Amino acid sequence: MFTRRFIPVVQSTKQNIGKYIRRDARFTLLTYNMLSPSYMWPQVYTYVAEPYKNWSYRHRLLERELLNTFKADIMCLQEMTARDYEDYWHDSIGVDVNYGSKFISKTPPKYWKKPVKDMDGVSIFYNLAKFDFISSSGIYLNQLLNVFNERELKYLYNKRVTLTDGASNVIGEDSLLDVLKGKNQVCLFVSLKHKETGTIFVVLNTHLYWKYDEVKLTQCMIIMRELSKIIKQLLPGDVKGQGKVKILFTGDLNSTRDSLVVNFLQGQIVSHGDLNLINPMRPYLDRCVYDDIPKDYFVHTCYSGKLKGIFDYVWYHDSDFSLTKILTGNEVSDELLASNQLGLPNENHPSDHIPLLTEFKIL
């Protein structure tokens, strides 16, 4: 097995001008798509040996990674089922290792035949030795279309989306508005106070829909507009004090680095038909971890057979945080190549994603 390296990130002198590091302000943050057992589809994971598809086997590896190997101060997890959260992670992490946690489950789609508790969602765990809990909220992205004005809603209604099946065959079309209404993605917001420095964080965790760039972009816009409301609630009437709130936006965005979603988050004016969309949270989010590391540190973060790419992100502002360490991912590609394997999971990796583990300092 090739060993991933948790190595220091060298910041340029230019990046550090005018910054200072607060004492004892170091913390670790992880984002990780766990691969729900409900999504271990036989037609997709044909390359995975049967023992490594087994949920009990994969769960033991996940426990070892999250609770022993990494044990990050903030853990943002996707594709965790409601059953698994309630029956294992909530109690195990909350009692045994002094973590608080929040979770939101997606609503079951029409095709769902399994128990509701087997539906997945996203969770955030936080180390109570380092953080005080302030508040949390979870949103259902298909229920927040009221963040758009009348002109925007008209565009969403008129915009047509070409629909495809899992094999990318065209099966019809629908309005972007109706497609958005039919998707069940969620986002979780947790506000924390860093004990040593008194810094207030808002940590976001989401898992965007896996296809249709227009859908992912619109879902991301909903999240950013809702985040703007949350910041105003944390700092009512304190315009000058808004710099006290720092944002960490994490998750599986199902978007490559040249995608509409990433361009939007980077502050580019994204032409969305008749609309020019600008990220309202650009003053709080101006970069992701891949902007601060050499390109050869990662080949992919998702190794799902034919579907491979960098889909997992941590976003922040470089005046708020300095990325000091990161767990490199290129070793996983080398490992698969050496063993002639097509993708994950396998004997050593419990998910088709790899965990994105980072260390930051508060500036």
- Give the count of domains, the chain: 1
Separation between Cα atoms, residue 83 and residue 1, nearest integer Å:
32
Q: Is residue 171 part of a domain?
A: no
Q: Is residue 223 part of a domain?
A: yes
Q: Is residue 298 part of a domain?
A: yes
Q: Is residue 130 part of a domain?
A: yes
pTM of the model: 0.94
Query: How do residues 144-197 score in pLDDT, each as one tens digit?
Result: 998 988 888 988 999 999 999 877 899 999 999 999 999 999 999 999 999 999
Q: What pLDDT, on the 0 to 100 scale, is given for residue 276? A: 67
pLDDT reading at 232 higher than 90 = no
Residue 4: helix, strand or coil by DSSP? coil
Q: Quick one: which of 9, 55, 8, 49 has its CA closest to 36? A: 55
Range of the domain at 249: 6-142+187-362
Q: What is the CATH number of the domain that holds 345?
A: 3.60.10.10
| Residue 207 C-alpha from the chain's centroid | 6
Amino acid at the residue 281: M
pLDDT reading at 13 higher than 50 = no
Q: How far apart are the first and last CA of the chain?
A: 37
pLDDT reading at 236 higher than 90 = no
Q: Is residue 195 part of a domain?
A: yes
